[in-house]
Structure 1
Amino acid sequence: MKIFNTLTRKKEEFKPLVPGQISMYVCGPTVYNYIHIGNARSAIAFDTIRRYFEYKGYKVKYVSNFTDVDDKMINEARKEEITVPELAERYINAYLEDTNALNVEPATVHPRATHEIKEIIAFVQDLIAKGYAYEVDGDVYYRAKKFMDYGELSDQNIEQLEEGASEHVNDEEQNRKEDPIDFALWKAQKESDEIAWDSPWGKGRPGWHIECSVMSTKYLGDTIDIHGGGQDLEFPHHENEIAQSEAKTGKKFVNYWMHNGFVTVGKDQEKMSKSLHNFVTVHDILKEVDPQVLRFFMASVQYRRQINYSEDNLKQAETILERFKNALKNIDYRLEDDTESKVSDSLRSAIAKTKENFEAAMDDDFNVQNALTAIYEVLPVVNANTNLSNVDKDELKKFKTLLSSWLSIFGIDCEKLTASVASSDDAEIDELVKKRDEARKNKDWAVSDQIRDQLKELGVTIQDTPQGTRWTRD
């Protein structure tokens, strides 16, 4: 298995620290609002990756945090006249509700920054003792230049970092820092109503970057296999995590850095973000879109590629899911009939080749497009086999199990997918099919063809099989 490592900017052979086990940390949301589909992209992408590892037999310890205190949360809580913990609780519950609807597996641990204050303070004290951090009037900053490899993850040199920092640091903060690229580990309380904790430097709260270093090392160890997140976190967040963690432990922090692509919207494919006010929340989308369709749409693009969110692309995902549903229903139909099973070497060979191609694609940095193509190519073979007088029931059953496990990697529950949900026009379709059967029995081909055309206009395909007439939606 090969994974693209952002740190080295190349695909590398994946070798976990402990054979058969994987430690994986993925940065979670700042919980001051409902998540938009850009946030959901990261949750879905790494859930898909996690599920494939589990499919391969690995035991995955998966940690994903909640940032439940920061400037945005403080401002929003003031605006709503509630406490920061009350705001956090509301949107953590909303996040869990939305991701559960999208069939994202719960993390092994979902730590919160505010639950780790003692550990964060100890971590910062250690960095000060080692000369990597300094305190100024209750604020604590990290000496970025002291860490020799600072900028390596984001592929930037110190001059580029200083130029970028100078554009974002005001004069007051600049006068407090030893260097413009230094970043905050601990922030002093600025106003009396601001949420804060006692510390050796006075009342304050943790900076954003320090919390992930503390939580990943606490729950997964000083060195972990995989650290994931969106591309926008490469710098400064993940760059700063490396500097903090390796300065404290003296060990390599992460073996494989993985970053998912953005979600874009519109013809110009503009990046979706809350700051650009062009985002759509998952909470709102799920009021109109089947969660399985949204999940499959998001999971069916390789994690490093960007996704363009549009109604057309959602519709395409829905169409593909309908094909899977029809294939599974065709298999179930034949497994339940009373015909004898007949061995099919060609079907067996096709299924074995599909499994080989699927896993080869997923082993190549989780190339989900090629993996899905392998499945698409075998569906006509399977569907054709289900129309034979005698089918290889053992192979069909085997394929059903494989297809269910493959789709599960993409977060699709096949039982839900194939569940019969009666539409308002199902009774009308059943009646038309019955009339067509009668016409065929009476050799009234004109009426039979007329009804077939009528069904086609309703988006229904008729299948005349040795076991009787079946219909599926296109």
Structure 2
Amino acid sequence: MHAWPASEVPALPGKGRDLRIHDTATGGPLTLDPGPVARIYVCGITPYDATHMGHAATYNAFDLVQRVWLDTKRQVHYVQNVTDVDDPLLERANRDGQDWTELAERETSLFREDMTALRMLPPQHYIGAVEAIPGIVPLVERLRDAGAAYELDGDIYFSVESDPHFGGVSHLDAEAMRLLSAERGGDPERPGKKNPLDPMLWMAAREGEPHWDGRSLGPGRPGWHIECVAIALDHLGMGFDVQGGGSDLAFPHHEMGASHAHALTGEHPYAKAYVHAGMVALHGEKMSKSKGNLVFVSALRRQGVDPAAIRLTLLAHHYRSDWEWTDAVLDEAVERLARWRAAVSRPDGPPADALVEEVRAALADDLNAPAALRAVDRWVALQEREGGTDEGAPGVVSRTVDALLGVAL
């Protein structure tokens, strides 16, 4: 599976700062020191509908992580998956009378278009669950043979008790885990499980549903969590720098994935930092495909909204905050974009070297994009009020905004 084309990232003078970011597993800040190659895995979409603002906000956050690392002159090894076979996808295809593979391909293609328009840097490896199955099956067999997994009516479940570190990502109590498991794709009420929280690794073939050769597991398809683990271990290995996604993935997805990896390798940690983006709401409720209260990137683009304004709307909110999408927040971004573009189109302006460092400092401090926007706003306001004599300043501002915030002026 291919990703989308990369936009060029301008090189800035000097060198950026190391990223200090909030780690869900420790509950506090962590300064990342990745070495010359930074490794990041961000969980991708289940392609049964178009890219909505919740998706866009999440991928914007981890695009900023990449840009901060690139500014420190590191290389970035970024991996993202596509869950191109799963219950929600099959249910949507059945509801609409579509072939599930055609639905997945269409929505994945639209996602690529949206990411390109928003100038999100693409992953080096963009891997679908279906193409990962040959690597998933051996991992499930290893877990079963090691006693970390068991069979129940043909399905294979992971035993959470096989990992002494289980619970170390989300730090939730058993009851909270049970409730979230039921809400987010688990089956805690299924009789016969050793622990209600045990997640499925391999689902035996169901009539009328797609399935693949599972060797000794029998025909079936993979569970959600093992999919990401197989892809991450294959392309990044243990102890990669950042596991990223929306805050709703901390449990069960990232918790279970970490436990799968610990049991498979005998090593800890799976990721050095677990970083989670907040949720975007509409009309008082979190944007959700199940609720249908969605604002789609593609719909806004069709209406003529500049993708740079969409991105500025996302950047105006701290990545960890929960916030609400309104016409007003988009209007503010449209106005900001117009002022910034007018400012950098002028022949000169006040010196901008300090601005570069202000933006760097803001982003290095837990991706504080709103503070970075305010720094640019101050430079623009000063130019509007007093003008300037530095002919190179508008170009410096334009390159800084492009390189660090992903907004083309």
- Tell me the TM-score normalized by structure 1: 0.77
Cα pair 1:197 1:204 within 8 Å, conserved? yes
Q: Report the identity percentage.
A: 32
Q: Please name the residue that 2:299 is paired with.
A: 284
More helix by share: 1
**CA RMSD, aligned part only?**
2.2
1:217 and 2:233 aligned: yes
State how 1:20-419 maps to structure 2 within 5 Å: 20-158=36-174, 160-162=176-178, 174-191=190-207, 193-199=208-214, 200-251=216-267, 252-266=269-283, 269-288=284-303, 289-331=305-347, 347-348=350-351, 351-384=352-385, 386=387, 391-393=389-391, 397-414=392-409
Counting matched residue pairs gives 387
Give the C-alpha shift of residue 89 in structure 1.
Answer: 1.1
Q: Deviations over 1:91-137 (max 9, x none)?
A: 11111112211122221111001001111001111111221101123
Give the C-alpha shift of residue 378 in structure 1.
Answer: 2.2
Q: Deviations over 1:122-177 (max 9, x none)?
A: 11111112211011232000111222222221111335435665899779x62231
Give the C-alpha shift of residue 196 in structure 1.
Answer: 0.1
SS of alignment partner, residue 111 of structure 1? strand
Q: Please name the residue that 2:33 is paired with.
A: 15
Q: Please name the residue that 1:459 is paired with.
A: none
SS of alignment partner, residue 122 of structure 2? coil
* Counterparts of 2:120 and 2:160, CA distance in 1: 36
Give the C-alpha shift of residue 2 in structure 1.
Answer: 1.0
Cα pair 2:141 2:217 within 8 Å, conserved? no
Give the C-alpha shift of residue 398 in structure 1.
Answer: 4.3
What runs of 5+ residues in structure 2 fail to find an aligned partner? 1-18
* Counterparts of 2:49 and 2:178, CA distance in 1: 32
SS of alignment partner, residue 345 of structure 2? helix
Q: Deviations over 1:364-390 (max 9, x none)?
A: 111111122222222233345546xxx
Give the C-alpha shift of residue 274 in structure 1.
Answer: 1.2
Cα pair 2:59 2:120 within 8 Å, conserved? yes
Give the C-alpha shift of residue 323 in structure 1.
Answer: 1.2
* Counterparts of 1:249 and 1:55, CA distance in 2: 33
SS of alignment partner, residue 47 of structure 2? coil
Q: Please name the residue that 1:430 is paired with.
A: none
Larger gyration radius, structure 1 or structure 2: 1
SS of alignment partner, residue 355 of structure 2? helix
SS of alignment partner, residue 330 of structure 1? coil
Give the C-alpha shift of residue 61 in structure 1.
Answer: 1.0
Give the C-alpha shift of residue 353 in structure 1.
Answer: 2.8
Q: Please name the residue that 1:455 is paired with.
A: none
Q: Deviations over 1:254-278 (max 9, x none)?
A: 0011100111122xx3211112221
* Counterparts of 1:163 and 1:111, CA distance in 2: 30
* Counterparts of 1:392 and 1:190, CA distance in 2: 68
* Counterparts of 2:104 and 2:130, CA distance in 1: 10
The AA in structure 1 aligned to 2:276 is H
Give the C-alpha shift of residue 241 in structure 1.
Answer: 0.5
* Counterparts of 1:328 and 1:314, CA distance in 2: 21
Cα pair 2:313 2:329 within 8 Å, conserved? yes
State how 1:431-470 maps to structure 2 within 5 Å: none
Give the C-alpha shift of residue 90 in structure 1.
Answer: 1.1
